[in-house]
Structure 1
Amino acid sequence: MSNLGQQSCSACSADAPQVTDAEKQTLLKDVPEWQLIVQDGEEQLQRVFTFKNFVQAQAFTNKVADLAEEEGHHPAILLEWGKATVRWWTHKIGGLHKNDFIMAARTDKLYP
C-alpha cells in the first residue's frame, strides 16, 4: 500500500494530463472504498460515509472542507441526515488527476 494519505496535492494546470486507466487501477487499490463514477461527462471519485446522526455527518463535512481549503482542491460534498457523500475530481482538466486520489486517501483518514 502506498502513502497517498500522507501526500499533498501538486499544482495542477488546465493542460495537466488525466490519470491513465492503468494508473487509475493502481491508485484505486489505495482507496478501495471509493468508486469511479461519471457525472456531467466527467469521471470522478465518490464515497458515501455513514454516521449515527446529522451532527456527526456535519462535523465530518466541516473537516473535509477545511482539508480542501488547506490544499486548494475542492470536492462536491452532499450532507444528509446520517451520511455525507464526497466526490473528488479536478475541475481544470475535467476528470481525474493523482491529486484526487491523494485527497480521497486523506479524506479517509478523517473518517472516525
Structure 2
Amino acid sequence: MDEKSSCEGACSRDTPRLSESSIEEGLRQRPLWRRTADGRAISRAFTSKNWSAAMEFLNAVSVVAEREGHHPDVAIKNYRDVEVVIATHAIGGLSRFDFILAAKIDAECAATYSPKWARENGLA
C-alpha cells in the first residue's frame, strides 16, 4: 500500500474491507495518519502556516484524489486547521485504497505547517 499503487476501482460494494492487522500495519507505514474514533476511516490533521498554505495543500489533495478517483472528506477550520479524512464510502470502512491514497497524499502534497504546530508535533 504505497504511492506507486493505484486506487482504480476503489469505491465499490465489492471492495474488500481490511483486517484489523492490515489496518494497524497501514497506520505504522503512515505515521501522520490516525484512525477516526469510529474506526471506519483514517485522518490527517494539522495547523498550516496560514489560509493560503491550507488551500494550497487541499488543492494538491484535490488533484491527487481526482486523478485516483478516490475522494477524501476535507475541511479547513479556524482559517488554517486542516483535516483530511479517507474511507471507502461504499463499504463504510477501510480498504487498501484508503492507505494508497494516504501514501500518495504524503508523497505528493506538501504541507506548510505552522512553526509552533510543527515544533509541538516533532516535525520541526
SS state at 2:63 partner: helix
Aligned residues: CA RMSD: 1.6
Residue by residue, what CA displacement relative to the aligned partner does 1:6-34 show, whole Å, maximum 9, x if unpaired? 22114132022100001111111110111
What stretches of structure 2 of length at least 5 have no aligned partner? Answer: 112-124
TM value normalised by structure 1: 0.87
User: How many residues are aligned here?
Assistant: 108
Farther-moved stretch of structure 1 (21-30 vs 5-14): 5-14
Displacement over 4 Å in runs of 4+: none
Give the greater-gyration-radius structure (CA): 2
Query: C-alpha displacement at 1:111, in angstroms?
Result: 2.4
Residue by residue, what CA displacement relative to the aligned partner does 1:12-70 show, whole Å, maximum 9, x if unpaired? 3202210000111111111011111145xx61000103211001100110110111111
Query: C-alpha displacement at 1:78, in angstroms?
Result: 0.3
Residue by residue, what CA displacement relative to the aligned partner does 1:48-107 show, whole Å, maximum 9, x if unpaired? 032110011001101101111111100000023222100000011110000000111111
What does 1:79-90 correspond to in 2, within 5 Å?
79-80=76-77, 81-90=79-88
Percent of paired sites with the same residue:
34
Residue of structure 2 aligned with 1:70, choices 61, 67, 74: 67
What stretches of structure 1 of length at least 5 have no aligned partner? Answer: none
Point out the structure with the larger strand share: 1
Partner of 1:36 in structure 2? 35
One-letter identity of the residue aligned with 1:31: R
> How far apart in 2 are the matches of 1:68 and 1:38?
23
TM value normalised by structure 2: 0.79
